[in-house]
């Protein structure tokens, strides 16, 4: 039996699994969707599952301040701000924006929730966000607090447990629904969601195909990133796992923000005649609702 790390309960779980009837018919496959966009309202999306573990670790270390980072429209930063507000913790968000940010979408919610937001440029973000967060931690600690730094997307060894646990949830729901998913499909942004699903699949011996669609960077970047995340998770468990196969065979599809891109990438792969052996597919809807509103102008009706 695999030991599961301690977590706090923040998300509404289990999230529903629904069949996408029309898409299933069109693609000639059984396509289901797992509604992780319904893990909550302001505390919604896939990041909440990860925060159940990250925030718990921080609280257990006696921390009262949580520092994290992301783009100006980061769902992860907004979820962290919401969790902190609910639990009465301090939160400092280091957000990337090269211009004065418009008060909309996730950033608006961050401000509503009373988060302390520090804006940095994209250059600072890519080159030294960790250093900047450490400086903020030092400043906060010197003022008598104790800060815990959550990396981008809570995608590290501890955060990834959220989706390892999700894989258990899926296994239980398969029994209830009387279906076995041969393929799990998810967006890959900072890698933790994919990492957790991948690891759960291995550790629970489920033998599913875990397909990730990367929404940025490239497959090579994510192979390394996910490997590092998974290695870090395994350290918590005191387990070892060989997975030279991670990558193409595990289905990181090259280059197709988030769920839209994922579905689009998946759809195109199927239309191209790929993924032939995938019959029962579960698409994880990772959320992202608030981030939609600032993009209104990109839609034509």
According to the binding rule CB under 6 A, does residue 15 interact with ligand PLP?
no
Among 71, 265, 287, 294, binds ligand PLP (CB under 6 A): 287
According to the binding rule CB under 6 A, does residue 233 interact with ligand PLP?
no
According to the binding rule CB under 6 A, does residue 286 interact with ligand PLP?
yes
The answer to whether 277 and 182 have CB atoms below 8 angstroms apart is: yes
Binding segment (CB under 6 A) for ligand PLP, from list 88-96, 108-116, 170-178, 186-194:
186-194
Binding segment (CB under 6 A) for ligand PLP, from list 9-17, 113-121, 192-200, 247-255:
192-200
Among 40, 58, 191, 265, binds ligand PLP (CB under 6 A): 191
Among 46, 54, 65, 68, binds ligand PLP (CB under 6 A): 46
According to the binding rule CB under 6 A, does residue 53 interact with ligand PLP?
no
According to the binding rule CB under 6 A, does residue 198 interact with ligand PLP?
no
Among 34, 49, 76, 137, binds ligand PLP (CB under 6 A): 76
Q: How far is the CB of 258 from ligand PLP (least distance, A)?
A: 4
Could you say which residues in the range 86-145 bind ligand PLP, by CB under 6 A? none
The answer to whether 195 and 233 have CB atoms below 8 angstroms apart is: yes
Neighbours of 238 (CB within 10 A): 7
According to the binding rule CB under 6 A, does residue 45 interact with ligand PLP?
yes
Smaller CB separation from ligand PLP, 89 or 252? 252
Just list the catalytic residues.
74
Q: How far is the CB of 217 from ligand PLP (least distance, A)?
A: 11
Q: How many residues does the chain have?
A: 301
Smaller CB separation from ligand PLP, 278 or 284? 284
**C-alpha closest to that of 244 among 221, 223, 220, 214:** 223
| Interface positions with ligand PLP (CB under 6 A) | 45-47, 75-76, 153, 155, 187-194, 258-259, 286-288
């Amino acid at each position: 039996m695999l030991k599961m790390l301690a977590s706090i309960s923040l998300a509404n779980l289990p999230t529903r699994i629904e069949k996408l009837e029309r898409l299933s018919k069109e693609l000639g496959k059984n396509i289901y969707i797992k509604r992780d966009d319904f893990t909550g309202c302001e505390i919604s999306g896939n990041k909440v599952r990860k925060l159940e573990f990250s925030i718990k670790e921080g609280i257990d270390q006696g921390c009262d301040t949580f520092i994290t980072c992301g783009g100006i429209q980061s769902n992860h930063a907004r979820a962290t701000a919401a969790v902190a507000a609910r639990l009465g913790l301090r939160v400092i968000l280091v957000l990337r924006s090269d211009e004065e940010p418009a008060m909309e979408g996730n950033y608006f919610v961050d401000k509503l929730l009373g988060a302390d937001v520090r804006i940095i440029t994209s250059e600072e973000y890519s080159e030294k966000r960790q250093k900047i967060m450490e400086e903020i931690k030092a400043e906060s600690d010197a003022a008598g607090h104790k800060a815990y730094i959550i990396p981008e997307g809570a995608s590290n060894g501890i955060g990834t447990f959220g989706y390892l646990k999700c894989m258990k949830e899926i296994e239980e729901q398969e029994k209830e629904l009387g279906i076995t998913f041969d393929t799990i499909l998810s967006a890959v942004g900072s890698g933790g969601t994919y990492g957790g699903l991948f690891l759960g699949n291995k550790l629970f011996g489920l033998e599913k195909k875990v397909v990730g669609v990367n929404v940025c960077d490239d497959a090579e970047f994510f192979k390394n990133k996910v490997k590092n995340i998974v290695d870090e998770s395994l350290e918590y468990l005191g387990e070892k796992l060989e997975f030279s196969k991670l990558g193409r065979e595990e289905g990181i599809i090259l280059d197709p923000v988030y769920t839209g891109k994922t579905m689009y990438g998946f759809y195109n792969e199927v239309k191209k005649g790929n993924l032939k052996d995938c019959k029962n597919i579960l698409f994880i809807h990772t959320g992202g609702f608030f981030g939609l509103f600032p993009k209104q102008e990109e839609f034509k009706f």
